[in-house]
Chain A
């Protein structure tokens, strides 16, 4: 099935007067489900709405979840941060992106968007590590490779904004850390992406 067909199908299955279902959430253990499908698909983040009124408490809720990350996922914030930086460096090393200056364990990249567009696995989730481990300029170059005008443009377009519509780095960081924690605890989801579901 082609990707646009899947998207259209999702739209078709989401809109309309379906029979109402009582919210009856269960917990179930899935042994062989590729977690990739879940974490690799999309992670919705409770943030402000574009074109809708803004949810005032959404920012705090995400941040609160981040602060409880140890309890929820069994990993510490330090582990999460280390993981996502190593994940970033590993990806860039794979593509021989060696335009960086080493400062202790820290790398400050000076590669440009033209360098990053060569990375087929690159996605938005690497931006945060680049921002915190390298610089805002580095992250902006990477954001350009992903089709955004800048890092701020990425934040705004993805609704990581405060109530005034300005980029909200704290919200973004918290959301991304949750994502990384999910990835860390999801049985090598990257390697499983694209796998079938049986």
Chain B
């Protein structure tokens, strides 16, 4: 299949798994096709991709991610982490 990709500063070409727009800022969920353990998020600022500001921003974006399959052990932790984040946001 054909995917949109983008090359980051480390010269690795990441697959754009999806995007999420929050408060008019577009975030990119990127997955390294060469390393199944590596995924990351970048945001678009002035037509450039930059890192996120802090953990809070990361958690907000993560809390918007849609989980597909909980069977994957990686996702298991991800789901737990997201639940923790969601719970924390709710309590706040």
Binding site for B on A (CB under 8 A): 1-4, 6-7, 9-11, 13-30, 33-55, 58, 61, 120-125, 147, 157-159, 175, 179, 183, 185-187, 190, 193-197
Contact = CB atoms under 8 A, between A and B. Distances in A.
B74 to A, nearest CB: 5
B29 A42 contact: yes
Nearest to B34: A197
B66 A42 contact: yes
The 3 closest A-B pairs by CB, nearest first: A3-B77, A44-B20, A49-B22
Contacts of A186: 1
Nearest to A185: B1
Contacts of A147: 83
B69 A193 contact: yes
Interface in B7-65: 7-9, 13, 15-24, 27, 29, 31, 33-42, 44, 47-58, 60-61, 63-65
Interface residues of B, number: 71
B21 A58 contact: yes
B64 A44 contact: yes
A6 B37 contact: yes
Contact of B33 (A3, A16, A33, A183): A33
